[in-house]
Each structure stands twice: as structure tokens, then as C-alpha cells.
Chain A
């Protein structure tokens, strides 16, 4: 099977998964007693029962759950993701307005994770059982053990309040302004720390495992410089397993965004999601969940392709 066909099959296979995700989420959210209309009514007692019913009908919130799902699905297929009821705005532009902030945050976190993890992992594996290896181990364990929201709070405490290098909360500016990009460092580091720790451990152990293989001795026996042995022969083999983990980190980076955006008041999708949960914004919850699902599936697909590029033994049949 060619790689192109493999990708096509894999993409096709994601359709039922996304369908399952949407059904599961829809079912969960609609099991909940209470919706935004209830809150609206509670705030405005003068709304009559007839008016309430009319509002529900307008947002498609009348009728049994399966019917609501079908309506929702039909709308989605036509590109209508529904409405954010509290601000009476369509979901799609609402998400689009916040998406760049989250992508910027995620990419920054990713970049930090890779930039720290790969060199540190190589260093630790090559210098196994030295002080540097021990230090990197301490860093990795701490990074994994640090709750990201607490790390964020501590960074604000130290760098914003005590050292006064950053403002305490994200400035209310467009993303591509100097202030915002400068501020991005704090949440970016927060979100990247755990990922970089995880990735570094994987990098170190996979590198250490490869270093013990005989082809490494064979490469040394050819008289190649140690640098070539490590960076050419060992690294490419180690990256094979690291790629998968790096793809899985996409999920954890997104989950991290939910919390970290809250800490730093970063105006992204994660913060919108928490708001949607609190306000029971059904359409918004559905849209963000599906969007995340697609992202994760795409990341895993990318990992598979990377795998094929790095490892000639893999054939898709």
C-alpha cells in the first residue's frame, strides 16, 4: 500500500471516531438538567412560559435529544456550528476569534518542549550516570510533577509581581502586538514544561537503548567520530519512538491550554471551553470538543507519516 493510500484510509477511519465523539459529547451534555435558557429565565423572571418555549424552539432546544442531535448534525454538515447563546453569536466566528491565541500558545509550548527535550535527552543518554544526567533526571521528574496551574501562579508571583518583568495578566491587545508576544513567554513556558519533561525522558531512554545496540559498536569500529555515531546513527533510530510521544503531547498541550489560559487570562479556546462548561453552552462545548478531536487525530496521523519517513522497515500493508 502506498503512503498516499495509507493516509486516505487513515483519514477515512477518523470519520466514525469523530461521529462517536460527537454522539458521546452530545449525549453527555444533554443528560444535564438545565441549559442556558434556564439561566436566562432565572435571571429574567418576567419571561413567560410561552416566550420560553419560543426561545427554546429558536435555538433548537425543544424535542427529544436524538432529534436535537440530528438537527445539530444537519446544521454542522452545512457549516453551521450553532450559537453561543450568552452573547448571541455564531459559534464559528467565536472560535475563530480565539483560535490564533491558542495555536500561538500551543506552538510556543511545543517549541520550548522540543528545544529543551531533544538536546537534554541526548546529553543525558550519552553521559549516563554523570552529574549532568542526574540533574536532567531531577529536572524531568520535577517537570512532570509540577501542576501547571501552580507553576503558572508561581511564575506570576516571581516574575510578574516580585521581579516586575511581565504584567500580571495578559494585556488586552491583538495577538501580534509586542506586548502580547512578550507576555506569551510566561504561559508558553508553563505549558511547555511538563511536555518537555516527558519528552526528555522518552528521548533519554530510547537513546540509551539504541546506544547499547551492536550497530553502534559497528559504527565505532568503522572509525567514525563519536559525534557522527551519535548524531547520525543513534539519533535517527531514537527519534522513531520519540515521534509518537511528541504527537501524543498535542493532546496534553491542548488540555494544558484549558488550565493555563485560565491562570494567565489568555484569551484563547481553552478559556472559552471552561466558560462554555460553566455556562452550559452546548454548541460551543460540542464544537471545541470536535475541533480538539480532529487536531489530535491529525497529530497522530502526522506521527505515523513521520514514522514511515524515519523507519524504512515500516510498510503499510
Chain B
């Protein structure tokens, strides 16, 4: 009879879908190897686990079977990091986090112990949200900060994308097993993060996404990070759960304010009202945590605008403006103005917004 290693014991525990809170209670009473022996001998473990969960634990309470199942992980290209392993991040071991028994991952596991910040938000985001997700994610990479998010559509995906685009690191925390990735729209991004960053989750590869897996996953997102940035959230948005978890875990919550007329910013505005930090620029976070800029500052070439470009630029400095409005104020023809605007866009002086609106790039 071979001895089951602690690493594998945690793997065994992770196979059984007991809620994180229950699992934490269970482990307060029994050490993992005690549990293993008890289940093996079919002894009662109190009223803590249900019939089905007990049966699941029982099925793999056999060393050979357990090892065989563990070796099967490589079929999915997935590796396992147990709670007991050295690489398991300390901050995730906090009691308030309800630490998972282990993490299934693909990619660079060392990222777990880097400085992390989460950027989350709603799926059906507006252009405003998209823009800010991009802005914060790409600017934070200058400070060697790893961007953590949930790889859902909308804000999450934009945050990951921006971090990769800026040459930074990113971690995607999954709410399902690696072999059952959802949503399909982000499949390509998922693969890219596996290769260039890290995808991680507490669920065995075959686990399908369910209603409860995403809120459960959110505690890991906030748990991994120093702070959480909520870019855009409606009042019923799942991103607010991440904010709640972050507060429970003692992480800082930053919220990006939005117009009071936009339902898509109602959630973040409410967070600010309740005391979350108002985030008006990347510098707010940097100052809060005293992060150091690791990137060699590139000297931005001064904007070189010609006469008409400068004229249009001056019109835009006071705020965004529509095409027709610009025509009226600049005395240029549609043809001339279009040429000027494109040229300025290419020079990175302005941004084109939906609905033929323009704004200076800050």
C-alpha cells in the first residue's frame, strides 16, 4: 500500500465539489490524511458532506485510482498546484478567502506571486467602459503589475487583451474546468493567455460552468490581488460580487465613476457612495500602493500639428464634438475636415468615438 502524498491529498479534495466554506470547516476538524483514511474506511465524517459528495470522495479514496486520475490531467495539458505547495500564494491562504484545495492551471505559475491588480466589470459594457478597461490595463503594465480578471466577455476580455497588447502579464481566473471553456467567443484569447500568461481555476478540467461557479471564482480574483478595479457595473452586475469579496478579504476597491444617467455606471457610482475609492486615473492607484514604474520612460515626441490640425485640436480640447459641429466651428469643408481628422488620428492626437464623434487623446 503506497503512501498518498500531501500534494495528491489536496488533489483528491479538489475533486469533490464541496462548497468552499464547508471545505474550510471540514479541514478545521480533520487533517487531509485523516479525512482520506476515514472516507476509505467508510467512516462517518459528521453531517458535513452530502451523500453525493461522500460518494465522490469515496470513489477516489484509493491510492492507485487517485494517482491514475492525477496522471490523466496531462491529457488536458493542465497542471495542478496544491494548497500545500510552496508556490501556492500566501495571500490566497487567508482564512477570509476560503482557499481552494488547489488550482488547476495552464501557463506561467510564477505570475501568482507577482503584484496583481484585478480589473473587472460588466459583460455588456459601453464604449466608455471598454476604453477605460484598455486604459487602466495597459497603463498598469508599465508598473510591472499583473492584470487579473475573469475572462468573461466585455470589460474582462478587454482588460486581458490590453495587458497582452502592452506586453504585460495577465492572469485569467476561470469559473469552469479548462476542458469546458466558456464563452466560446473568447476561445482565442483564452489560448493566448495560456501561452503568454496564466489561466487558473479551482475546478477539475471537466467541470462545466454553472450559475454558482462564477461568484465562487470571484473570491479568487480578489484574493490574488492587492486591489480590485471595477470599471463599469450595473446595479445587478456580477462585478459587484467581486467588490464584496474584496472588502471581506481586506482588499482595496477602486471604482471608475460614470455619468449618473448611465445605468451601466449605476453600480460603480453606488460603490463610490458606499466608500470605495474613486478612480480618476492610473496615478490614483500608483500613489495608493506606492508602486514603482519599471518601464524606462519613453520620451513622447511633442505633437506636431499643422495649422488646420491645431485649429481643430483647439476646438476639441474643451470636450468631445460631433462632425457637423466641427464643420460649423472650423469653417472647413467636409472633405478637408475628414482629411485633417484622419491625419490627427494617425498622429495619436485624437480618438474617434462611435457616432462620428471625436475627442482629444489624453
Determine if chain A interacts with chain B. Answer: no
Interface residues of A (CB under 8 A from B): none
